[in-house]
Amino acid sequence: MTKIILIGIITILGLAIIIEIIARIYIYQGKKMNVSATCYDALMQMLSLKRSELEAEKEKVQFIEAKKYYYHPLQKIIALNDYASTTIYAHLASLHEGGHYRSASENKQKEKMIQFSTIIIAFNRLIVIPYFIIITYMIDFENVPSTLFINVSTAFIIFFIFATILRFIFGLPEEYRASQIALEYIGENYDQKVLKFSKSSYRTFFLQYFFHALLFGVSIPFIYCIIFLIGSLS
């Protein structure tokens, strides 16, 4: 059984690495292609924020320049790497983040759910996953782990499974939806070549997210099972 799980994890890891390489090729290509408009202008146009509307909308959404592209559902911030960038990659990333904002704004209940899952997933990423990674290095396989250690790990694994389920039923469809909103805009405003490239890029980025979630979703419970097995061998 352990062998099957290990083979499964290594297969997922292999696929995740291949997708990661393909994603990087798309990013590289996307940075080489340029259009005349800046990504900031494209995003504004997609969100159809006219100057007058922008004032009213400003309370709802903020734009900042940051190292990474992201949408923060709690603070309602859309972060862009460089407002003035005209690369296709910058357009794809900006429009996708705008898609997240659009999608989250579709209805109040959905918005609340996205905010809730963001908090859970953030705690999972900052505390739970590092905990399991650290104990993998720290654990003494010669000795039986303490009951406290097993109890803490059990509480964390339950939280982890809950967060992973949220990631699959909310995070994943939201990633798809955000790109879909961006693609609708790209289909109407860019040429066929850009649209084709955008579809392939978004598909790759989606798979990247999926395999990343799947890799952690399988590996962390596996680490827990090893700890639990050592505990039960006593």
Residues near Zn ion (CB under 5 A) are 175
SS3 200: helix
CB 208 → Zn ion: shortest distance, Å?
11
> What residues contact 196, with CB distance under 8 A and at least 6 apart?
none
Nearer to Zn ion, 209 or 224 (CB): 209
From residue 169, alpha-carbon distances to 14, 97, 107, 163, 173 in Å are: 24, 19, 17, 10, 7
Beta sheet of 62-65, edge-to-edge order: 62-65, 77-80, 70-72
**Angle at the Cα of 64 from the Cα atoms of 63 and 68, rounded to 5 degrees:** 120
Q: Select 12 or 92, whichever has its Cβ closest to Zn ion.
A: 92
When the beta carbons of 166 and 175 are compared against Zn ion, the nearer one is 175
Q: How far is the CB of 6 from Zn ion (least distance, A)?
A: 31
When the beta carbons of 99 and 156 are compared against Zn ion, the nearer one is 99
Q: Tell me how far, at minimum, the Cβ of 68 lies from Zn ion, in Å.
A: 11
Which residue's CB is nearer to Zn ion, number 175 or number 211? Answer: 175
β partners of residue 71: 78
Cα–Cα dist 224/183, whole Å: 40
Q: How far is the CB of 156 from Zn ion (least distance, A)?
A: 26
Q: Which 3 state secondary structure label does DSSP give 71?
A: strand
Pairing relation of β-strands 62-65 and 70-72?
unpaired
Write 101-107 long-range contacts (CB < 8 A, 24+): 101/47, 101/61, 101/71, 101/76, 102/46, 102/47, 102/178, 102/181, 103/174, 103/177, 103/178, 103/181, 104/71, 104/73, 104/174, 105/60
Nearest distance, CB of residue 73 and Zn ion, angstroms: 11
Closer residue to Zn ion, CB minimum distance, 175 or 224:
175
Q: Shortest distance, CB of residue 70 to Zn ion, whole angstroms?
A: 8
Nearest approach, Cβ of residue 76 and Zn ion (Å): 15
Give the residue with the Cβ less far from Zn ion, 153 or 179: 179
